[in-house]
Structure 1
Amino acid sequence: MSGKSPERDKPWLFRTYAGHSTAKASNELYRKNLGKGQTGLSVAFDLPTQTGYDSDHPLARGEVGKVGVPISHLGDMRSLFEGIPLGEMNTSMTINATAAWLLALYIALADEQGVDRSKLTGTVQNDILKEYLSRGTYVFPPAPSLRLIKDTIVYTGRELPKWNPTNVCSYHLQEAGATPVQELA
């Protein structure tokens, strides 16, 4: 045995959690970072996108593009990833309540780019219970949320074998008062 392991010796992904103002401005930032050697993308979405509001909805007023990129439709997703070949990119989307919908937009864009879905690599956080228990940015109550989590996991397991369908983030639970034991549970 040579002592080399393809998995162990694979280079780490380098990505910056980023997204702001508009999809076009965020795309410019992503392309600049990739040009400087960043090897993946980590998309930060704005609060209206996180909670399922279109950017032009009255409840989104004052929040659009503030803490991340606003995505309301496939056109926004096209602008966000213009010039970025999704088949060659590992993309992390830190999104929960609207994870299934945003993953569907990402897949639709990959289809437009002619990418074989089985080649897509990345992660969608899809930790909807965290939103319910700690942040308050949930869209659906717990039972339907659990169903969305499960459906996303089943779908990605079948259609996107290189995709991580969930990324549990217990930090917010701790901030909401959970003990370390409760975080693990």
Structure 2
Amino acid sequence: MPQMQKDRPWLIRTYAGHSTASASNALYRANLAKGQTGLSVAFDLPTQTGYDSDHVLARGEVGKVGVPVGHLGDMRALFDEIPLEQMNTSMTINATAPWLLSLYIAVAEEQGADVSKLQGTVQNDLIKEYLSRGTYVCPPKPSLKMIADVAEYCYTNVPKWNPMNVCSYHLQEAGATPEQELAFALATAQAVLDELKPRIAPEDFPAMVGRISFFVN
């Protein structure tokens, strides 16, 4: 009889983050100790829109719907004692995705991780934020460039990382029909891939397409 091999366990991640980086880190480590197989980070509204926690416009919003991360020290505290080279992390962040991913990679480097082995997903759908949710920083054209900048960087340096999650979920919440939602999602994905195509070797383009994930209603 051939030796049977077990399937890899499902990647189970609790979408979590609150109050402070240290408190969220304690929650993450507790969940991992109970058998959770990955992490999904929720960031607070100031972090999503690029404001420091002490900015006047952040007042009343710090740590409410996610964890505040304003600098490398926050990211370091968030993943303290969590070996990022062994982790699969999802970060639900869009307008500030390039900066938050860079902080994550910097913490991994501090831990001595091989950055090319990092696994996870950054949502990085700045177009969706402009269309439906309003937490964008830049208008569509520079936003599209930033999405592609992240994807190109990951393609070159962090090949196991998913550089974008096309998230049309919020479009239905903003009033779109299911058909409209899917149309916008596919149009966004197409626009991103059109932006990326000149930057990627033709033989590698199918692999890049395979790294774009979707989150739809």
Q: How does 1:116-155 map to 2 (within 5 A)?
A: 116-155=114-153
Shift of 1:181: 2.4
Shift of 1:5: 9.2
Q: Distance in 1 between matches of 2:112 and 2:22?
A: 22
Shift of 1:168: 1.2
Q: How does 1:37-76 map to 2 (within 5 A)?
A: 37-76=35-74
Q: Which residue of 2 aligns with 1:168?
A: 166
1:39 aligned counterpart, secondary structure: coil
Q: Distance in 1 between matches of 2:144 and 2:181?
A: 17
Q: Distance in 2 between matches of 1:15 and 1:114?
A: 24
Runs of at least 5 residues in structure 2 that lack an aligned partner in the other structure? 184-217
Q: How does 1:100-119 map to 2 (within 5 A)?
A: 100-119=98-117
Q: Which has the higher contact order (CA 8 A, sep 6+)?
A: 1
Q: Which residue of 2 aligns with 1:180?
A: 178
- RMSD of aligned Cα (Å): 1.4
Q: Distance in 2 between matches of 1:153 and 1:177?
A: 29
1:92 aligned counterpart, secondary structure: strand
Q: Which residue of 1 aligns with 2:22?
A: 24
Q: Distance in 1 between matches of 2:5 and 2:168?
A: 31
Q: Distance in 1 between matches of 2:37 and 2:14?
A: 10
Q: Point out the structure with the larger helix share.
A: 2
Shift of 1:116: 0.8
Q: Which residue of 1 aligns with 2:191?
A: none
Identity of aligned residues (%): 77
Q: Which residue of 2 aligns with 1:157?
A: 155
1:13 aligned counterpart, secondary structure: coil
Shift of 1:10: 2.5
Shift of 1:173: 0.6
Shift of 1:179: 2.2
